[in-house]
Structure 1
């Protein structure tokens, strides 16, 4: 049974789970430097997980859910009421979120805004303020079963807020790394902004390819990366085995406007056993 993440997530990997499972080498531990909503974590069965992201709100939520699942879920459920499904209520909560340092409040508001905000987007302005508009949905879904499953599975996971380079340093032989970075633009004119507020540039794309190849060839840790299938990414991943998969784009609010595009799964295999 495929498990859905409790967060809506732009670029989430739910639709690619089977393809990614097929190309992930066997290992004791899965390391994810860009965990996002965690679809791969939820649909694989490793002994241990190291799951990282540079978004502190995301990682704080995951650690709270892991440590206090009953408290978090019961508190979160109270936010999913009709009175909160109004633009004025949403904007008030968003304003409080941006002014608060309280981890529990921010974690509860983060889930609320993910479900009541527009299209499940996660976006911050340059000052670090969450700025996704109200979503105007009839009755946002409270993902209780998904939260409970995540909390149970989280017992096997360590969640850390850090850069992908730091996460690679923590990977050890016996692990496999899966990278789902902010994708390279489909064209040089594409509007390319990062969901966590600091851009993932073309230089970052190249650096990730380098650190992945080094991990595989010199440290014996295989790395699988997903990205758009473009001339650029094929050049970046020239040292990897490339497989193409088709996936539907899910950002468009109009389902009819969602086209299938090619994505690459680039596997850097370990040369040393």
Structure 2
């Protein structure tokens, strides 16, 4: 099966892990993702229905607009991917406009533009909620037209909502399966644990997520698969799940020598009944 890339650059995207994730997801009619991010798992699985959530309103807004009016949006976005727009002063001007406007359509166009023209495809906001990623200085930023067309077509099966993972878990019903790709736990307690999407994802959140997963599996018969770093902390949090380890290449430090394999943990929470039947 052809693998499909997300149209957004995204830190911690799951493109390279899709096969492993799919192998561990129990069969179901509906896939729920409380941390959809760039949507690699959505794009590379085949469920009848999807409920895709994220705490970032700009991301969900973009997905809903692309779903609703793909032709118009792709055409308008394409106009921003020429050399005239690939200039630092123009980028900074668009970033300012983005931070001042509340117009959902304009924000979506600018969000895509900044994702491809900004440094490393980062998505970062300051304390006041202003997008603050610097210019990326790329020779010719890629316009992901085919990827957007595929996403728009597939999104006919999806509902996109902006809400917290706790809210999304409440919506899960039997017959669904949940995949969680939360901001990862720090590799060590001294690791710089920066905030995520402007709201932070604390160690308490890591623990709450594990509780939500256990509750969904035991009380609702909804299996939950979570990916995270393989650390003493995550193993303790996921003690009620079946654990699988996957080797993954990840850039940890800024220089190339920091590229080494970090073990990735896939934790599957299922009801006691499901565990027996396997």
TM bin (shorter chain): over 0.9
Count of aligned positions: 273
Partner of 1:110: 111
Partner of 1:225: 226
Cα deviations by residue, 1:216-258 (Å, 9 ceiling, x for unpaired): 0111000000000000000000000000101111576655542
Q: Is the 8 A contact 1:220 1:271 kept in 2?
A: no
Displacement of 1:3 after TM fit?
0.3
Partner of 1:263: 264
Output the CA distance in 2 between the equivalents of 1:211 and 1:98: 34
Displacement of 1:195 after TM fit?
2.8
SS at match of 2:37: coil
Which segment is superposed worse, 36-45 or 240-249? 240-249
Output the CA distance in 2 between the equivalents of 1:101 and 1:110: 12
Are 2:150 and 1:149 equivalent residues in the alignment?
A: yes
Displacement of 1:8 after TM fit?
0.3
Q: Is the 8 A contact 1:11 1:250 kept in 2?
A: no
Q: Is the 8 A contact 2:125 2:198 kept in 1?
A: yes
Output the CA distance in 1 between the equivalents of 2:124 and 2:261: 24
For structure 2, the 5+ residue unaligned runs are: none
Partner of 1:11: 12
For structure 1, the 5+ residue unaligned runs are: none
SS at match of 1:49: strand
| Pairs within 5 Å for 1:23-172 | 23-172=24-173
Q: Is the 8 A contact 1:218 1:272 kept in 2?
A: no
| Pairs within 5 Å for 1:178-257 | 178-250=179-251, 257=258
Report the aligned-residue RMSD.
1.2
TM-score w.r.t. structure 1 length?
Answer: 0.97
Displacement of 1:267 after TM fit?
0.2
Output the CA distance in 1 between the equivalents of 2:259 and 2:109: 31
Q: Is the 8 A contact 2:252 2:260 kept in 1?
A: no
Displacement of 1:271 after TM fit?
3.1
Output the CA distance in 2 between the equivalents of 1:145 and 1:252: 32
SS at match of 1:259: strand
Output the CA distance in 1 between the equivalents of 2:252 and 2:79: 28
Q: Is the 8 A contact 2:252 2:258 kept in 1?
A: no
Output the CA distance in 1 between the equivalents of 2:170 and 2:214: 13
Output the CA distance in 1 between the equivalents of 2:252 and 2:156: 31
Output the CA distance in 2 between the equivalents of 1:73 and 1:251: 34
Output the CA distance in 1 between the equivalents of 2:255 and 2:71: 36
Cα deviations by residue, 1:176-207 (Å, 9 ceiling, x for unpaired): 00000010001111111233101110001000
Which segment is superposed worse, 191-200 or 222-231? 191-200
SS at match of 2:81: coil
